[in-house]
Amino acid sequence: MTMIAVAASQNQHKIDEMEAITEKFGMKIVGRDDFGLPKIKIEEDGETFEANSLKKASEICMLCNQITIADDSGLVVDALDGAPGVYSSRFAGEEGNDKKNNAKLLELLKDVPMEKRTARFVSVITMVYPNGTKIVARGECEGHILFEESGENGFGYDPLFRPLGYAVSFGEIPPEEKNKISHRAKALEELQRQLEQLH
């Protein structure tokens, strides 16, 4: 099945990963900017990844009348009772960035020993069709938060996150490898399994 989907995201890192992962199952992702949509900001005010993901996909689907795919994702840290969670991208405030977010995370965890630094990356991928069909797929990747940033690959909290079974961070793992094991890869594979059944 070849399927074209408009990505609700404006984060080029996310779009690149979604393209690389979905290429394997014959899906073609088109950025919403490439599709020529006006640059609107969708407020991500949901309390869950599912709420934000569905909101983004639904709003963009209404605007473009095409099958739309959205990713809402973040880092869930056990020692912080699940924070930063849905606030991952604005953990250090609306004017923050990856560097400030990572610094805040390290500061909050500075007295937490490695065995209690368990965390997971979560991605909720939602696909919304113009006819109202909604598909929701969640993927998780378990791991630990390191004591300092390591590696230049990936984005967001990747340099601080060491996935289970690896000795290095997502910042040090090549993109091809990350795209096999990441939360986003797992969510997109789950989406694909659901699509195979629904069509």
Helix axes 183-198, 12-22, angle to 10 degrees: 50
Cβ atoms 106, 117 nearer than 8 A? no
Question: For tokens 């993109």, what's the residue?
Answer: 175
**105 vs 124, beta carbon nearer its own copies:** 124
Query: Which residues neighbour 81 within 8 Å (Cβ) at sequence distance 6 or greater?
Result: none
Least CB distance from residue 171 to its own copies, whole Å?
Answer: 22
Least CB distance from residue 134 to its own copies, whole Å?
Answer: 7
Least CB distance from residue 34 to its own copies, whole Å?
Answer: 27
Q: Are strands 68-77 and 3-7 parallel, antiparallel or unpaired?
A: parallel
**48 vs 97, beta carbon nearer its own copies:** 48
Residue 16 among the catalytic residues: no
Catalytic residue from among 71, 72, 98, 158: 72
**49 vs 170, beta carbon nearer its own copies:** 49
String of DSSP letters for 133-155? -EEEEEEEEEEEE-SS---SSSS
Q: Provide the binding-site residues for its own copies, judged by CB under 8 A.
A: 46, 48-51, 54, 118, 134-138, 140, 142, 164-165, 190, 193-194, 196-198
Q: Which residues are catalytic?
A: 72
